[in-house]
């Protein structure tokens, strides 16, 4: 009784197909770059900027704005924040949500960077440990044994 092709092992099926030409995503050897030769010989041009740099430059670009009836030169980031705050204050729901989310994120970052309100010095920690040890000792001895 011979096996049907459905029941042959994976290894047997691979052998029946013949040698594999190349792996998916790996070019044949004759098309690969030789060792020591870059696939991008010119590389990234000097002075080219990434997206975050371009966005920050655009945000810092100056723009004229009228504030309290006087023309002032401010950057686009400040102007955008002022517009968002104005829209939120006028009752636009989407602007309110975005503005409050941004305020929450800024406050969370500030809280994470803020040091503890009353940081302990190493001397303070030593004193606290001594007091703690005395308290443990007094509890184990009882009130009449001190």
Tens of pLDDT along the chain (146 residues)? 555 556 778 878 777 776 666 678 888 888 888 888 888 888 888 889 999 999 999 999 999 999 899 999 999 999 999 999 999 999 999 999 999 999 999 999 988 888 777 778 889 989 999 998 888 887 777 666 65
Tokens of 40: 């991008």
b vs e for 72-96, b when ≥16 Cβ sit within 10 Å of the residue's Cβ?
Answer: eeeeeebbeeeebeebbeeeeeebe
Identify whether 93 is part of a domain.
yes
Residue 61 CA to residue 77 CA, distance in Å, equals 8
Tokens 């030593």 map to which residue? 126
- Length of the chain equals 146
- Domain annotation covers residue 139: no
Report yes or no: 131 and 124 within 8 Å, Cβ to Cβ. Answer: no
Range of the domain at 90: 57-113
The answer to whether position 99 is within a domain reads yes
- Domain presence at residue 87: yes
Give the model's pLDDT for residue 146.
54
* Residue 72, helix vs strand vs coil: strand
Q: State the CB neighbour count (10 A cutoff) for residue 36.
A: 5
What is the total count of domains within the chain? 1
What is d(CA 92, CA 134) in angstroms, rounded to the nearest whole number? Answer: 61
CA-to-CA dists, residue 125 to 38, 128, 146, angstroms = 58, 5, 25
* 82 belongs to a structural domain: yes
In a domain, 11, yes or no: no
């Amino acid at each position: 009784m011979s096996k049907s092709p459905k029941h042959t092992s994976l290894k047997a099926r691979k052998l029946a197909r013949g040698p594999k030409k190349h792996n998916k995503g790996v070019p044949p050897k004759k098309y690969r770059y030789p060792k020591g030769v870059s696939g991008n010989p010119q590389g990234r041009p000097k002075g080219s900027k990434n997206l975050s740099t371009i966005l920050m430059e655009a945000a810092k670009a100056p723009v004229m704005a009228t504030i309290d009836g006087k023309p002032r030169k401010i950057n686009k980031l400040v102007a955008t924040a002022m517009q968002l705050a104005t829209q939120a204050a006028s009752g636009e729901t989407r602007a309110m949500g975005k503005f409050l989310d941004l305020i929450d994120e800024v406050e969370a970052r500030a809280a994470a960077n803020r040091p503890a309100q009353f940081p302990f010095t190493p001397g303070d920690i030593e004193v606290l440990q001594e007091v703690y040890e005395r308290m443990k000792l007094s509890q184990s001895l009882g009130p009449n044994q001190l």
